[in-house]
Amino acid sequence: MLSPSTAPRHSPAARLRSIVSGSIGNLVEWYDWYVYSAFALYFAPSFFPKGNLTAQLLNTAAIFAVGFLMRPLGGWLLGTYADRHGRKAALLLSVLLMCAGSLLIALTPSYESIGVAAPILLVVARLTQGLSVGGEYGTSATYLSEMADAKNRGFYSSFQYVTLIAGQLLALLVQLGLQRVLSPAQLYAWGWRIPFALGAVAAVSALYLRRSMTETEAFAQQTTGLAGPEKPASGQLRTLLRYPREVLTVVGMTLGGTIAFYTFTTYAQKFLVNTAGFSKDAATLISFGALAVTIGLQPVLGAVSDRVGRRPVLLFFGVGATLGTVPLLTLLARTHDAWTAFGLLLLGLIIVSGYTSINAIVKAELFPTHIRALGVGLPYALTVAIFGGSAEYVALQAKAHGVESWYYWYVTACAAISLVVYLRMNDTQQTSRLDDESR
C-alpha cells in the first residue's frame, strides 16, 4: 500500500492520457451496446426458429430489454468493486465483460446448428453486456471527475457522453458500410457477425489502453487514510443509504434527462419513419447528422458549467424540455422536409445536452470518495432501466392506441419533475465533495 507521501500526483499530461484512455474505452463499450439493436434485423433469424420475422424480432427485443434490466445490477456490483478496489480495476473489468459478450455473440452457432442453445447463449452474452455497461457509467463518471483538475471538471467529464454518442454513431456507420459492401443475403447469413467481432477486437484494444491508466488521487488518498481518520466502509449498499438526499437527487435529475435523451436519439429514427413518414434511409441520415453535431456541444456546455456553475446548465435543459418537448415533437410529426426535421431534432438535442454534458460531474460531486462510484452508478442505472429503457415502448403503445401526443406530455411531465429537482438542489460546483471529503 502506498504511504501518504507516495500517493500519486498527476501531471497535466498524465491526466490527459488517462482521461483519453478511459474515454476510448467508454466509446467501445457503447458501440458494443448499440450494435445489438442496429443489427437485430439481420441476426434474429440465426438465433430463433424459422417462421415469422416479427416474432423473431420480438424475441431479440426481449433479450435487449433483459440486458437493460441488468444495468442496475452492473451499477451495484461494479460500483461496489470500484469503491473497494479502485476505479482503474473496475474499468478494466467492465471492458473485459463487454469483450466477452460481443465475442460470444460473434461466435455462437445458429439455431439450426445447436438448437435452443443458440438463444440461451445470446441471453448470456446480453446479460454480460448489461452488467458491463451498467457498471461502466458510474465508474467512468467517477474516474473522469476525479482525474480532472478542479477548474475543468465539467469540460473533461463531458467526454463521457461524447464517447457514448460516438459509440452510437460508430454502430450506425458500420451498419451503413456493411450494407454497401455486402448483399442482404450475405448480411443475414454471416455479415452480421462482423460488427460484433470488431467490437470484441476494439474492446481488447481498450483493455490495453486502460492498463496504462493511473489510479485517481482521490481513491489513492482514501486507501492511505488521507480521506479521514474515521473512514466509513467503502462501496457498501448500507453505506449508500446514509445519503438518501443525494440518491434521490440522482434519481430526480436523471428521470427527465434519460427519457428526453432516448426520445431524441434512439426513438427519433422510428418516430421519423412511423409518424413523420420519412424513408428509413432518410431518417437514419437525419438522426446521424443531428447526433454528429450534438457531440461537439458536450464539451462546450461542460466548459460553460466550469465558468457559470452546474445549476444554470441543468436549468437550461429543465426549462427547455418542459416547455419545448410538446411543440418540438408536434412540429416534427407534421414536417415532410428533411432539413426542417434535422433542425427540429437538433434543437431537441441541444436542449438535452444541458443534461447530458454535465450529469456525470454533478452526480460525482454529490458523493464522498468511499461511496462515489456506487452512489453515481446504482440510482442512475435503476432510473434508466425503468424510465429510459421503457421510453420507446411507452411511445409506441401511445401511438398504437391513437394517442401519440400523450407521450409528448409524458416526457414533459418527467422533465418538469427534474426541473423541480434542479431548482431545489445546490449548485454542486460550490458544494463539491470532490474538493472537501469532510462534508
pLDDT attached to residue 406: 94
* Residues 204 and 347 placed together within one structural domain of the fold: no
Q: How many residues does the chain have?
A: 439
Evaluate if residue 431 carries a pLDDT over 80.
Answer: yes
Residue 312 falls inside a structural domain: yes
Residue 227 lies in a domain: no
The owner of cell 414533459 is: 412
Q: Are residues 199 and 143 in the same domain?
A: yes
Contacts with 173 (C-beta within 8 Å, 6 or more apart), sequence order = none
Residue 406: give its domain's CATH number. Answer: 1.20.1250.20
CA distance 407 to 401: 11
State whether 188 and 245 are in the same domain. Answer: no
Amino acid 438: pLDDT: 39
Evaluate if residue 168 carries a pLDDT over 80: yes
Q: What's the mean pLDDT in 413-427?
A: 95
pLDDT for residue 345 is more than 70? yes
Band (225; pLDDT cuts 50, 70, 90): low
What's the structural domain count of the chain?
2
pLDDT band at 11 (very low <50, low <70, confident <90, very high): low
Statement to judge: residues 255 and 342 lie in one domain: yes
**Predicted pLDDT of residue 285:** 87
What is the spatial distance between Cα 276 and Cα 378, in angstroms, rounded to a whole number? 36
Can you spell out the DSSP letters for 244-266? HHHHHHHHHHHHHHHHHHHHHTH
**Residues 6 or more apart whose Cβ sits within 8 Å of residue 77:** 131, 135
Looking at residues 168-178, what average pLDDT do you find? 88
Is residue 425 very low, low, confident or very high in pLDDT (cuts 50, 70, 90)?
Answer: very high
283 within 8 A of 274, measured Cβ to Cβ: no
Instruction: With respect to residue 2, please indicate whether it lies within any of the assigned structural domains.
Output: no
Residue 222, in any domain of the structure: no
Q: What is the pLDDT of residue 240?
A: 87
Query: Coil, strand, or helix at residue 367?
Result: coil
Range of the domain at 362: 239-429
Q: Are residues 49 and 177 in the same domain?
A: yes
Q: Is the pLDDT of residue 391 over 90?
A: no
Does residue 250 lie within any of the structural domains?
yes
Question: How many DSSP H helices and E strands does the chain contain?
Answer: 22, 0
Residue showing cell 431524441: 264
Q: What is the pLDDT of residue 215?
A: 80
Between residues 1 and 317, which one has the greater pLDDT?
317
Cβ proximity of 362 and 430 under 8 Å: no
Residue type for 250, please? V
If pLDDT is split at 50, 70 and 90, which confidence band does 256 have?
A: very high
39 and 98 housed in the same domain: yes
Nearest-angstrom CA–CA distance, 57 and 42: 9
| Residue 203 in this model has a pLDDT that exceeds 50 | yes
* pTM flag (> 0.75): yes
